[in-house]
Structure 1
Amino acid sequence: MTDEAANVFADPTAYADEPRLHAAMTYLRAHNPVAYVDKAPYRPFYAITKHADIMDIERDNNLWLSEPRPVLVTAVADDFARSQLESGAGLRTLIHMDDPHHKKVRAIGQDWFRPNALRELQVQVDALAKRYVDKMVEIGPECDFVEDIAIHFPLYVILSLLGLPEEDFPRMHQLTQEMFGADDKEYQRGATLEERMATLLDFFNYFSTLTASRRANPTGDLASAIANGRIDGEPLSDVDTASYYVIVASAGHDTTKDAISGGLRALIENPGELDRLRREPDLIGTAVEEMIRWTTPVKEFMRTAAADTTVRGVPISKGESVYLAYTSANRDEEIFDDPFTFDVGRFPNRHLAFGYGVHFCLGAALARMEMRSLFSELIPRLDSIEFAGEPELAATVFVGGLKHLPIRYSLR
């Protein structure tokens, strides 16, 4: 049973089958919280399913390294990515880096996500939230909430922050879907590695042109800050510059889309909690945290041991990798009371959906602000809401959530 349960982490379809996924993770937390997984087409790894163990690993970023295996990909894709980086190409985002380089690169964009900067952005985000709730009224009484609303609201926010022209937003969305949806037949560009890598090439070509433009004529946006960022007095490499854009432009909206759409689904499935939030709008902050815990859009990161060590008594050798199962940690019975209950007033809420430690999500505060704005606008105007079809989840082993959320509603 341990092998069957652990193999869900090497099966992209498991994240589209929540009962199966959570049954497996619940079993592993109780019986084998450091489970060895050896299933093709992936290289072996240890699945870490307990909240405390994941936090311990995230704290010790000298022992547990992001390089060379920051996320779970097939062995063939892993080899190809490494060869690309060795040749001076490929993707190397913040999630691929370790300190001290990681800290220096992260600092280039960090000021854009600090409280002072976000306070200046609040009015624009609130206006956008109203715009998209108004759009629900226009296209109602039914819509696919993912396709019609949840994608576009955070996409508009992050790409406006970067300073990209609005006519390029659909292209950025498509490329993001292809990159994070490589394991899903609806989203993937193609079945071969070469077809999938073409998505990254399209990203890089777009952002190479953007970099040249912002270096020649800085415009005071986040894209200009990245293009003109310097490390130890030297400009960012072409790979690091393009990679910075990719992670901000893609993860900066796709994960928020997953939390927004999954959060609305949870409210529909738990009408008592929706009514509670209507009666107590001051709970919006804890409600957003619960939506983020409930959905956990980033399913995992991986770390590689820099020396021989142990986790919960299990020996792990230098060079072996662990899979940090955030979805499991966010249902850990030792941390959360009634973890499978959706509670808009849950406090404290020590979820790990944004990671922990030096790699804590750069855009966490922005994502929270967007969600608070949208649900603060939506819920008071909502007279009724129900499913108009079956919610559909994406197949993934990394980032994902709902692909479709058909709803029927009445809005003021």
Structure 2
Amino acid sequence: MTSEDRGAGAAGVDVFDPNLYARGVPHDAYRRLRDEDPVHWQEEYEVGGWPAGPGFWAVTRHADVVRVLRGPDEYSSWIGATQIRDPDPADLPFIRRMMLNLDPPEHGRLRRIAAKVFTPRRVERFAADVERHARLLVDGIAERGECDLPADVTDEYPIQNLADLLGIPEQDRGRILGWTNRVIGYQDPDHGGDVPRGPDGAPVNPRSPAMLADMFEYAHTLAAARRRDPADDLMTALATAEVDGRRLTDPELSMFFFLLVIAGNDTVRSGLPGGVMALLDHPDQHRRLLDHPELLDSAIDEMLRWHPPVLSFRRTAARDTVLAGRPIATGDKVVVFHASANRDERRFPDPERFDIARRPNDHVAFGDGPHVCLGAHFARLQLRIFYREFLWRLPDLEPAGPPARLVSNFIAGIKHLPVRYTPVPRSDVR
């Protein structure tokens, strides 16, 4: 397909550069694309030491995003996986073992295993531990009168919860943050550092099997230990689960562990400070929530609409198709922008109004279709428990400085969020 075939579209609009997102989600650019060019050809140029790619279709309207996410026959997760940047062809067969990167019917087998072990009942059994973690972390900053919310509290919170759920021993829990920063934050100089390069000088993708060998080795060591000595945790369930008489293969177990540790951690890690930031930016809604705690669940949905942890996901066209009047060729990359869909005027009345009582609220923060987030229930549980502990104990919370955002066109990460509040005593309950 030539540039003429793709059309001029909204000239000059860029939603690719990860550095843009460090300055704030480009909602003005999204709005222009939704209005003028809802399926927009986006060049994929060299940035941050990473080479240029072939470009992709940026999908920005809610209805089109949902169509792509619900249509694996047309828009495949398997062909090129689900990240904007193309994986090394040598890595692709391994990466395709992850449930996130499979299409039906193969996706269904892993999803059935996941549904069997990652049940709401199992998650709810950990609620008391989640409450304890939230209370102790807030205790750690309650008497100070100020803190950096991500660095002091919310980076640690989902790690502790995931480690309990998976059965990762206390002494190993620090690894989760290192793995997540390496994979999610590779575009950010604070997390990724220098771009790793192979013997030929080419950059090495931090999601490649070679770069994840330490994580996979740990996963198999833990799984073997759980088979010998079962416990009431998710890793035991994964290591022993069967569907249709088959257990997870070693590569499937590796990628399942990757998905839980990375996606399960960073969704909450990004969502929590993003939700607090939304309340601080809308003090009337903050006060409304404090006065009406029964609105917490709808407030969490509005926080997720306003600040979805995942900005975008990629698919690949499995055949020639047409989306919003644009011809899409077989093999083209198609990237859906959750953060744009959640502000689409065609779906949400007055979408630039932050309203904690918004109903209905059909946001796509957890995706849609066959790949809708498996851990959404656990994520909501963590969000609900943390906000209940944090917001009402520190009711006069206010910003103490500007936020620092992650350099990423994938995750809406908040690296720093300084806040101040009236100091309060630590809780008496441990």
Q: TM-score range by the shorter chain?
A: over 0.9
Normalization by structure 2: what TM-score? 0.88
Alpha-carbon distance, 1:103 to partner: 1.5
Distance in structure 1 (CA, Å) of the matches to 2:138 and 2:292: 20
Q: What secondary structure, in the 3-state scheme, does the structure 2 residue paired with 1:83 have?
A: coil
Counterpart of 1:159 in structure 2 is 163
Distance in structure 2 (CA, Å) of the matches to 1:16 and 1:92: 31
Alpha-carbon distance, 1:85 to partner: 4.1
Distance in structure 2 (CA, Å) of the matches to 1:215 and 1:85: 29
Moved more, 361-370 or 204-213: 204-213
Counterpart of 2:53 in structure 1 is 42
- 1:97-116 CA-to-partner distances (Å, cap 9, x unmatched) read 11122111122232444333
Distance in structure 2 (CA, Å) of the matches to 1:411 and 1:102: 50
Q: Is the 8 A contact 2:290 2:395 kept in 1?
A: no
Write 1 or 2 for the structure with the bigger share of helix: 1
- 1:141-180 CA-to-partner distances (Å, cap 9, x unmatched) read 1211001111111111112100001221111111111100
Distance in structure 2 (CA, Å) of the matches to 1:217 and 1:207: 15
Amino acid at match of 2:72: N
Counterpart of 1:176 in structure 2 is 180
Moved more, 228-237 or 355-364: 228-237
Q: Is the 8 A contact 2:21 2:407 kept in 1?
A: yes
- 1:206-261 CA-to-partner distances (Å, cap 9, x unmatched) read 21222332233332321122222335423322211111001101111211111110
Counterpart of 2:344 in structure 1 is 332
**Residues 1:90 and 1:403: Cα distance change in structure 2 (over 3 Å):** same
Q: Are residue 65 (structure 1) and residue 76 (structure 2) matched?
A: yes
Q: What secondary structure, in the 3-state scheme, does the structure 2 residue paired with 1:273 have?
A: helix
- State how 1:7-406 maps to structure 2 within 5 Å: 7-8=14-15, 10-18=16-24, 21-40=26-45, 41-75=52-86, 78=87, 80=88, 82-86=89-93, 89-90=94-95, 92-138=97-143, 140-192=144-196, 193-194=203-204, 196=206, 197=208, 199-406=211-418
Distance in structure 1 (CA, Å) of the matches to 2:38 and 2:326: 10
Amino acid at match of 2:227: R
Alpha-carbon distance, 1:288 to partner: 0.6
Alpha-carbon distance, 1:26 to partner: 0.6
Amino acid at match of 1:167: Q
Counterpart of 2:6 in structure 1 is none
Alpha-carbon distance, 1:396 to partner: 0.8
Distance in structure 1 (CA, Å) of the matches to 2:345 and 2:245: 48
Amino acid at match of 1:131: L
Alpha-carbon distance, 1:65 to partner: 1.1
Q: Is the 8 A contact 2:305 2:364 kept in 1?
A: yes
Moved more, 188-197 or 50-59: 188-197
Q: Is the 8 A contact 1:113 1:366 kept in 2?
A: no
Amino acid at match of 1:100: P
Q: Is the 8 A contact 2:315 2:334 kept in 1?
A: yes
Alpha-carbon distance, 1:195 to partner: 7.4
Amino acid at match of 2:330: K
Q: What secondary structure, in the 3-state scheme, does the structure 2 residue paired with 1:23 have?
A: helix
Q: What secondary structure, in the 3-state scheme, does the structure 2 residue paired with 1:324 have?
A: strand
Distance in structure 2 (CA, Å) of the matches to 1:216 and 1:189: 39
CA RMSD across the alignment? 1.9
Distance in structure 1 (CA, Å) of the matches to 2:120 and 2:75: 30
Q: Is the 8 A contact 2:366 2:376 kept in 1?
A: yes
Distance in structure 1 (CA, Å) of the matches to 2:355 and 2:211: 39
Identity of matched residues, %: 35
Normalization by structure 1: what TM-score? 0.92
Distance in structure 1 (CA, Å) of the matches to 2:95 and 2:33: 35
Amino acid at match of 1:397: N
Q: Is the 8 A contact 1:391 1:404 kept in 2?
A: yes
Amino acid at match of 1:126: E
Alpha-carbon distance, 1:189 to partner: 4.6
Moved more, 380-389 or 295-304: 380-389
Q: Is the 8 A contact 1:42 1:72 kept in 2?
A: no
5+ long unaligned stretches in structure 1:
none
Distance in structure 1 (CA, Å) of the matches to 2:181 and 2:168: 18
- Number of equivalent positions: 402
Amino acid at match of 1:83: A
- 1:64-109 CA-to-partner distances (Å, cap 9, x unmatched) read 210122333434xx2x2x31244xx557322111112211112223
Q: What secondary structure, in the 3-state scheme, does the structure 2 residue paired with 1:410 have?
A: coil
